[in-house]
Structure 1
Amino acid sequence: MICIDLEASGLSPDSYPIEIAWKCTRTGRSDTFLINPDSVPEWDYWDECAEELHGIEPELLQQQGISAEAACSRLNHALEGACVVSDAHAFDDFWLRRLFEACKVVPRFKLVGLETVLPPKQCERYEQIARGQFRRHRALQDVDDLIAAIEQARQTEA
């Protein structure tokens, strides 16, 4: 199973991805990176409330972020042919589409929701577990929490 998480500039329709992380539970391989929004001229929306949640400042993105094109290439190279699990499918799908469309690149992996790896009762249990995790959101930590919560939900129902 490969899980993914994205952090974004906000939740509005003008928001865009600023951090992406993924991890493969079978191999332990993972990756995380920031995206410099300066690489896409129309990416200028910034929500300070979102910044409060993830703690990522625009200056950090400019200093350490890779280009949107590099992000697409990195994701396609690492995840080609895979089904990648997100616990916030609607949001993550929106931001991945924004990323790939901005670069005019086609993703070579498929994003799927939690319901593809957990039956309905375990999805409900996952939601209960996830609600109890309030902290600053960073993509790789969120991926680790997602994997742990999926495993805990599976064990609870077993």
Structure 2
Amino acid sequence: MNLICLDLEASGLGPHSYPIEVAWKSTAGQSDSFLINPDSVPGWDFWDEYAEELHNLCVSELREKGVTADVACQRLNEQLQGLDVLSDAWEFDSFWLSRLFEATGETMAFRLIGLPALLSPDELLTYKLICKGQWRQHRAMNDVDHIIEAVLRVHSDRDA
């Protein structure tokens, strides 16, 4: 099974939040991860200090190391075009991807799917139990690694 998982970190959880970090990885070995410079989008100025404590990213680092929103959309579309990409937090990640692509006027060339598209209700319960036992530093690539690990464990339990 070739699985592609994506995760985003954001400036907060509210309606004015926006994506600040994106990572994706496939079980076939491809991956990408980058920060997004919020100064590249007018109005992206909301910042939640609690969210900063979770992901440990600060605005100055995003300004220094982040790509523009346009570059972020181009990279995602070029690398994931036509693919189904899994998110364990579909509601949040789809909101932030929408904010990103709307900010640039680009159309998302891949489809974000949630865990229910891949796992049965019983498997979702098992997934949640596995994830509760995982320590997660909230950075996008770390989260992607944990998502893949948990999904593969659920699938190996299914096949056992």
TM over 0.5: yes
Aligned-partner residue type, residue 104 of structure 1 = G
Counterpart in 2 of 1:134? 135
Choose which of 7, 10, 17 in structure 1 pairs with 2:12.
10
AA at the equivalent of 1:3: C
> Do structure 1's residue 111 and structure 2's residue 142 form an aligned pair?
no
Q: 1:87, CA displacement in angstroms? A: 0.2
Would the aligned equivalents of 1:55 and 1:136 in 2 still touch at CA under 8 Å? no
Paired residues, number? 157
Gapped runs of 5+ residues in structure 1?
none
Alignment deviations for residues 74-131 of structure 1 (CA, whole Å, 9 cap, x no partner): 0000000000000000000000000000101100000000111211111111011112
* CA displacement at 1:136 relative to structure 2: 2.2
Q: Which consecutive residues of structure 2, in runs of 5 or more, have no partner in the other structure?
A: none
Equivalent pair of 1:32/1:140 in contact (CA under 8 Å): yes
Provide the alpha-carbon RMSD of the alignment: 0.9
Match of 1:81 in 2: 82
Q: What is the TM-score with the length of structure 2 in the denominator?
A: 0.95
1:21 equivalent to 2:51? Answer no
How far, CA to CA, are the matches of 1:122 and 1:154 in structure 2?
8
Contact 1:72 1:99 in 2 (8 A): yes
Deviation at 1:30?
A: 0.2
Checking the alignment, whether the CA contact within 8 Å between 2:136 and 2:146 is kept in structure 1 is no
Could you report, residue by residue, the CA deviation over 1:125-152 in whole angstroms, capped at 9, with x for unpaired residues? 1011112223320000100100000011
Q: Residues 137 and 143 of structure 2 are in contact (CA less than 8 Å); yes or no, is this contact kept in structure 1?
A: no
In the alignment, residue 28 of structure 1 is paired with which amino acid? Answer: G
1:146 and 2:126 equivalent?
no
Q: Distance in 1 between matches of 2:157 and 2:9?
A: 29
Judge conservation of contact 1:72–1:100 (CA < 8 Å) in 2.
Answer: yes
